[in-house]
């Protein structure tokens, strides 16, 4: 047996004596400690979104104790808060509570609170609840209807953790801290790069559909508020000059394939959109006919780029706007990129009807008069091909970065689990600065 194996065996032996969490912490403590405080005492209020997955509170509000005392979950400095409801639990929402106003906090009723005893390392207990064993067990123990399942208190109360001395707990927690910090820093860099790539797509679309691909070409002034100049060889035309509105109802029923518009995916069969969106109507006569090559846009979500080119014949909601590109004027794919240009959509917001900017409906009567740049059709084709290639590259790189971040998150879970469960040489816990 090697020295390393001996160290692991020794540590695992020390962990064979396990203890239930209820003997290490008070679970969902009462408010008795603060019952004597006046109602105007300032306290922190933290929503579920205010909890990160890194063990910290990332956002909170200041409230009066009297406003939150009843109806919300109470915690204080040094407590551990973890979300108990899906999907917040799976997303790792929770924190070691620090930085609270007057050391007192309140939050959603969808939280479990643990108050570690004085002889328990809080960070060690926190990491214990980040192990695969705990997460998998909690998910299996969840109760409730789909989408509203919760981790029961008795699962946490009865979950067993290694019963090891405080100093050993502290060493393990410090070791995990150092390792997790490196993993998180790397993941953060990858996410920054992914965000840069994500931001590059709209700038590419705007540049190419308003200036084209050629550099140093002659430009001319326009009457378009959302773009100052376009190439001299391009036309300016109202939208009604390049597309027509299709008004063709599915009555009597001709088509049964319902199509839906999903941001980032375009026009897809309704059954492929997943759980998002409204339920489809059973009365197919209330739908509009859509032809292959039509531009379909959700009037309510057009301003956030919810549009695309139909790749098949079908039917869509009467709330959608169906446009037919004029064959001699504009390619469907070029028109589709036009309706996904964030700058153009920002201008259209002035003509939308509604209260909130991003939820305003855009009607054809307001859209039809808007001037847009129209390159020669051959140049439209070149622009579309270039955009398709470059966006495909960006999407593939973004996918690789997302996969890499996901692998780093899995690595973090594996590391935490291995450290807590004694699968790492115990001497390494004292080499955290290496």
Q: Topology of domain 234-374, per CATH?
A: Adenine-n6-DNA-methyltransferase TaqI; Chain A, domain 2 (3.90.220)
Residue 226: pLDDT band with limits 50, 70, 90: very high
Task: Note the pLDDT of residue 357.
Answer: 57
pLDDT tens digits for range 26-71: 999 999 999 999 999 999 999 999 998 888 999 999 999 999 999 9
Task: Note the pLDDT of residue 1.
Answer: 42
Cα distances (angstroms) measured from residue 41 to each of 107, 109, 287 = 16, 21, 57
pLDDT tens digits for range 372-422: 999 999 999 999 999 999 999 999 999 999 999 999 999 999 999 999 988
**Domain residue limits, the chain:** 18-162, 167-212+376-434, 234-374
| Both tokens assigned to 334 | 């070029």
Pinpoint the alpha helices (H) of 36-121: 65-68
Residue 432 has pLDDT above 90, yes or no: no
CA dist 129 and 113 (Å) reads 12
Residue 133: pLDDT band with limits 50, 70, 90: very high
Task: Note the pLDDT of residue 427.
Answer: 59
CA dist 93 and 15 (Å) reads 28
Q: 3-state DSSP call for residue 434? A: coil
Region 18-162: CATH code: 3.90.220.20
CB 103 within 8 A of CB 74: no
DSSP letters for 383-397: HHHHHHHHHHHHHHH
pLDDT tens digits for range 261-291: 888 889 999 888 765 555 666 789 999 999 9
Q: Do domains 18-162 and 234-374 have the same CATH topology?
A: yes
Residue 5 has pLDDT above 80, yes or no: no
Task: Note the pLDDT of residue 424.
Answer: 79
Task: Note the pLDDT of residue 16.
Answer: 54
Kindly report the pTM of this predicted structure.
0.73
pLDDT tens digits for range 112-132: 999 999 999 999 999 999 999
Q: Is the dihedral of CA 359, 365, 366, 370 positive or negative?
A: positive
């Amino acid at each position: 047996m090697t020295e390393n194996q001996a160290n692991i065996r020794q540590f695992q032996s020390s962990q064979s004596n396990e203890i239930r969490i209820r003997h290490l912490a008070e679970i969902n403590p009462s408010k008795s400690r603060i019952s004597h405080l006046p109602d105007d005492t300032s306290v922190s209020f933290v929503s579920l979104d205010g909890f990160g997955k890194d063990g910290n509170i990332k956002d909170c509000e200041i409230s009066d104790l009297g406003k939150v005392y009843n109806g919300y979950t109470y915690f204080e400095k040094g407590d551990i808060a973890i979300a108990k409801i899906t999907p917040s639990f799976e997303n790792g929402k929770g924190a070691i509570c620090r930085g609270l106003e007057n050391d007192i906090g309140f939050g959603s009723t969808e939280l479990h609170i643990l108050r570690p005893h004085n002889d328990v390392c809080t960070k060690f207990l926190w990491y214990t609840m980040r192990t695969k064993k705990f997460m998998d067990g909690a998910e299996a123990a969840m109760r409730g209807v789909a989408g509203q399942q919760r981790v029961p208190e008795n699962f946490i109360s009865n979950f067993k953790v290694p019963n090891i001395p405080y100093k050993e707990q502290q060493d393990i927690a410090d070791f995990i801290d150092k390792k997790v910090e490196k993993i998180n820093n790397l993941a953060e860099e990858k996410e920054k790069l992914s965000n840069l790539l994500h931001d590059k797509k709209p700038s590419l679309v705007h540049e190419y559909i308003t200036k084209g691909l050629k550099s140093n070409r002659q430009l001319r002034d326009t009457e378009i508020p959302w773009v100052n100049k376009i190439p001299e060889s391009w036309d300016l035309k109202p939208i009604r000059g390049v597309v027509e509105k299709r008004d063709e109802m599915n009555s009597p029923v001709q088509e049964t394939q319902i199509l839906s518009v999903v941001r980032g995916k375009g026009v897809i069969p309704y059954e492929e959109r997943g759980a998002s969106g409204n339920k489809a109507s059973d009365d197919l006569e209330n739908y509009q006919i859509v032809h292959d090559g039509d531009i379909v846009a959700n009037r309510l979500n057009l301003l956030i780029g919810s549009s695309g080119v139909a790749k098949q014949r079908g039917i869509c909601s009467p709330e959608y706007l169906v446009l037919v590109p004029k064959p001699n004027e504009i390619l469907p794919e070029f028109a589709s990129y036009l309706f996904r240009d964030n700058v153009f959509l920002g201008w259209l917001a002035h003509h939308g009807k509604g209260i909130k900017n991003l939820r305003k409906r855009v009607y054809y009567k307001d859209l039809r008069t808007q001037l847009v740049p129209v390159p020669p059709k051959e140049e439209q084709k070149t622009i579309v091909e270039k955009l398709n290639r470059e966006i495909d590259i960006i999407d593939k790189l973004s996918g690789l970065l997302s996969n890499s971040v996901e692998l780093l998150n899995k690595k973090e879970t594996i590391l935490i689990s291995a450290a807590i469960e004694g699968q790492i040489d115990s001497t390494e816990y004292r080499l955290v600065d290496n």
